[in-house]
Amino acid sequence: MTADTLAAPRSSVPRKKGVNLEKWGWIYMRVSGVLLVVLIFGHLYFNLLLGDGIHGINWGFVAGKLADPFWQWWDILLLWLALIHGANGMRTIVNDYVTGQTARRVLIWALWVAAGLLILLGTLVVFAFDPCNGVTSDSIFWEQCQNLPAPRI
């Protein structure tokens, strides 16, 4: 198909009935985008600008954050909203540049599989994280682990 054979803009195209997924995708990008500005700016401010900045980030820092339901939900929202926003953006780019029907289907399928697996992994990490799991008394983290607040799930 070349540009010559494309219908002129605004010519009426019969549309399938039912849910207009492209419209909801368009709305999702805008709603999640606004939320992500707040969530990511807060994430960067708390993790990189406060305290020792990046030098303060270690296992104990993350374990402490994920023991707090406030940061659990902050990170879960970030994870779901950002991955779906990113995967849908990548889908738009694939649709724009990949002209082969099979390659396009495979790439978009791979995008959603990757996003789905990482959402699953991230959700497990946030909600099923036991900071003391596997830390024995000979670990240098033993003492740090003992002082952590108990995870409230």
Partner 1 sequence: MSAPSRVTPSVAQTTSRTPRGTLYRGNEGMWSWVLHRITGVAIFFFLLVHILDTALIRVAPEAYDAVMSTYKNPIMGIGETFLVAAIVYHAFNGLRIIAVDLWPWATRHQRQLWWTVLVVWLVTVGGFAARHLPIVFSNIGGH
Residues that bind partner 1 (CB under 8 A): 2-4, 8-9, 30, 33-34, 36-37, 40-41, 44, 48-49, 52-55, 57-60, 62-63, 66, 79, 82-83, 86-87, 89-90, 93, 114, 118, 121-122, 124-125, 129, 131, 133-135, 139-141
- Environment class of residue 129 by beta-carbon count within 10 Å: exposed (0-12), middle (13-18) or buried (19+)? middle
Smallest separation (angstroms) from partner 1 to the CB of 79: 7
Smallest separation (angstroms) from partner 1 to the CB of 29: 8
Residue closer to partner 1 by CB (options 26, 106) is: 26
Q: Are 82 and 40 spatial neighbours (Cβ–Cβ below 8 Å)?
A: yes
Torsion of CA 88, 86, 59, 45, to 10 degrees: -130
Smallest separation (angstroms) from partner 1 to the CB of 17: 25
DSSP type of residue 47: I
Smallest separation (angstroms) from partner 1 to the CB of 21: 18
CA distances from 42 to 48, 51, 65, 103 (A): 10, 14, 13, 38
Phi, psi (deg, nearest 5) at residue 122 = -65, -40
Residue closer to partner 1 by CB (options 30, 105) is: 30
Smallest separation (angstroms) from partner 1 to the CB of 149: 16
CA 45 to chain CA centroid, nearest Å: 18
Residue type, 105: R
Residue closer to partner 1 by CB (options 112, 141) is: 141
Residue 73: which residues within 8 A CB-CB, separation 6 or more? none
Residue closer to partner 1 by CB (options 17, 99) is: 99
Residue closer to partner 1 by CB (options 53, 69) is: 53
